[in-house]
Amino acid sequence: MKSLLLLLFAFFLSTSASAQTLGSCHIFPSNNPWNVRVDTMQVDVAHSAAYIASVGVNTSVHPDFGSDTDYGIPWEAVNSSQAFVSINTSNGYQDQSDPGPMPIPFNPVIEHDDDSHVLVVDTSNHYLYELYQAVRDKNDSGWVATSSAIFSLDSNNYRPDGWTSCDAAGLPVFPGLVRLDECKAGAINHALRFTVPSTQQAWIFPARHHAGSPTDTNHMPMGTRLRLKSSFNDSNYTGYAKVIMTALKKYGIILADNGSAWYISGEWNPNWPDDDIGQLKNIIGNDFEVVNTGYPIETDSKEATTPVIPIPQGTNGTGGILQIVSNPIDFGKVTVEVPDTMAISLSNSGDGNLIISAVSLLKTNGDFTLLSFALFTSLPDTLKPGANLSVPVEFKPSKVVEDTLQFKVTISGTPGVSSDTVVTIIGEGVLPASVTATDRPDAFAVYPNPTSGILTIASTGIDATSHIEITDVIGRSVLTETIQSNSGTIDLGTLANGCYFLHAQTSGGQASKLIEVLH
């Protein structure tokens, strides 16, 4: 079983108390990168000074939003009554766009610059729809765009690694905007989107794509996370500017696109008090510091097809939508010739049944061997609307190397209508000596498994005090507990249905077990 990569997972150890919301609609879960606080994380000492210098240490922040229609990115909220229309991206990034239809109103407010963003939040069904360089389609009631993206707001589904979105970094635009309603409420509980003129040909998670031309590593990669230094004296600032400065200290900013230096994005709103938010211009580049989120700088695209795959509608007007919650799936470090098990999580967010089957495209590639791809390898399965399904995958590395393995998933809605997508798993083979923690899977028992909420942990061979960490299928920490006796319980009732890993870490060693939550 793989070892804990504490540095890589530290980014998710500190989650926000409440996720960003729009009314009763949550804008991604609380452990989504946009909603995670960074005020207690370590400074990226190796890069901070150079990255900030590349943008300008004395260059002022510019609030790229206000009451003037030339500033800010507008957005629309719709509900389930909004009609769906066609989306045409054939002259743009069609291969990296989510296909329509989408619930775009006939006459939405469009961003007043060359980006021409259209952002639509479906507060009934909890989806975010974004268009880049959008114009009305003269031939029908739909839209033509350079790129399009769909994000499920109830889960942490990211763009495939290497994909753009309606932002160059492959990120959603809406969750990074400064909104007037949040300022009026007195708190912004999420990171903010910002731009710089020149970026590195690389990205850091949660970014998925680069748009850089310099190979100079002193430039920021897309996804770089910064925060306003705690030493910045904001005691004399007032109003909404003070609210925004507090968010800059707690949640920071995420590099999302190429643009003007230190431009922080917000919504266009005719009611912005421009003099108030103008106080932000007193912040300069040197007032920020780069945060070490623990994720590596990526330069090699691990492209896979879109994790949200609409199925063509049947004759009754219904259709299922398959969502692969995390794709690619990162196994982390695995000891050579030792099998490891992970799981992929599938859900159907549409209103029709999906018939799912899967075959391996590549059982071995010389570096990794697929041992099993459970459940679908022999018989197809039906995934009903709103249902979730966890599929165990077992593989082992045969070489000390980092590589990928891919599998094709076939989905069909109505007879004769099907679609394929590729599930990509990523792993790194390591020698046993490089695994610092001792793997002791027999050191404790967990029951019941699956669990509907309360999980009992009984220690049989490790210290009485155990640090317990629950991670999702790609290693993001969702819960931590300390058990002070040889037997204890933890409540998993707040976790969504699916597979997780339970890791016990003590001075006596490490043990990990696959668990399933099934309410």
Question: Considering only CA atoms, which of 368, 332, 351, 193 is closest in space to residue 266?
Answer: 193
Q: DSSP state, 96?
A: G
β-sheet bridge partners, residue 503: 469, 512
- Cα-to-chain-centroid distance, residue 333: 21
Fold category of 444-517 in CATH: Immunoglobulin-like (2.60.40)
The residue among 352, 354, 358, 408 whose CA lies nearest residue 379 is 358
- Residue 238's alpha-carbon distances to 186, 191, 243, 244, 277, in angstroms, are 11, 20, 8, 10, 9
Contact criterion met (CB below 8 Å) for 266 and 64 = yes
Give the Cα separation of 189 and 15 in Å (integer): 11
Equal fold, 304-434 vs 444-517: yes
Kindly compute the dihedral angle of the four CA atoms of residues 428, 356, 346, 396, in this order, to the nearest 10 degrees. -20
Convert the pLDDT of each residue in 341-394 to its tens digit: 666 667 776 666 776 655 444 455 667 776 665 544 444 567 777 777 766 667
- Cβ count within 10 A of residue 39: 15
Those residues with Cβ within 8 angstroms of residue 209's Cβ, 6 or more apart along the chain or in another chain = 159, 162, 163, 164, 165, 168, 169, 170, 203, 222
**Residue 96 backbone dihedrals phi, psi, to 5 degrees:** -120, 20
How remote is the C-alpha of 86 from its chain's centroid? 26
Render 171-232 in DSSP notation, one character per residue: --SGGGSB-HHHHHHT---S-EEEEES---S-EETT----------TTSPPBT-EEEE-TTS
> Which residues, other chains included, contact 434 with Cβ-Cβ below 8 Å and sequence gap of 6+?
333
User: Which phi and psi (to 5°) does residue 509 adopt?
Assistant: 140, -175
The reported pTM is 0.59
- Name the token pair of 469: 């960490």
Q: Could you list the pLDDT tens digit for every one of the 519 residues in the chain?
A: 332 222 322 333 333 334 688 888 889 887 788 998 899 888 999 999 999 999 999 999 999 999 998 899 999 999 989 999 999 999 999 989 988 889 999 999 999 888 999 999 999 888 999 999 999 998 877 999 999 999 988 877 788 888 899 999 999 999 999 999 999 999 999 999 999 999 999 999 889 999 987 778 999 999 999 999 999 999 999 999 999 999 999 999 999 999 999 999 999 999 999 999 999 999 999 999 999 987 788 887 664 333 333 333 333 334 566 666 656 666 667 777 777 666 666 777 666 677 665 544 445 566 777 666 554 444 456 777 777 776 666 777 777 777 666 655 555 554 444 555 556 666 777 776 544 433 444 456 677 777 888 888 766 544 555 678 888 765 677 888 877 666 678 889 888 877 777 877 655 556 677 777 877
Using CA atoms, how far apart are residues 17 and 12, in angstroms rounded to an integer? 13
Measured CA distances, 327 to 157, 161, 390, 496 (Å): 8, 8, 13, 18
DSSP H/E element including 248? helix 239-250
Provide the token pair at 137.
């389609």
The domain made up of 304-434 has a fold known as Immunoglobulin-like (2.60.40)
Q: Where are the domains of the chain?
A: 30-297, 304-434, 444-517
**Residues found in the chain:** 519
Each residue of 264-298: b (16+ CB within 10 Å) or e?
Answer: bbbbbbeebeeebbebbeebbbebbbbbbbbbeeb
Both tokens of 443, joined, read: 């050191």
Distance CA 90, CA 355 (A): 28
Backbone phi, psi, residue 227, to 5°:
-140, 155
pLDDT in tens, 272-312: 999 999 999 999 999 999 999 877 888 876 643 333 333 33
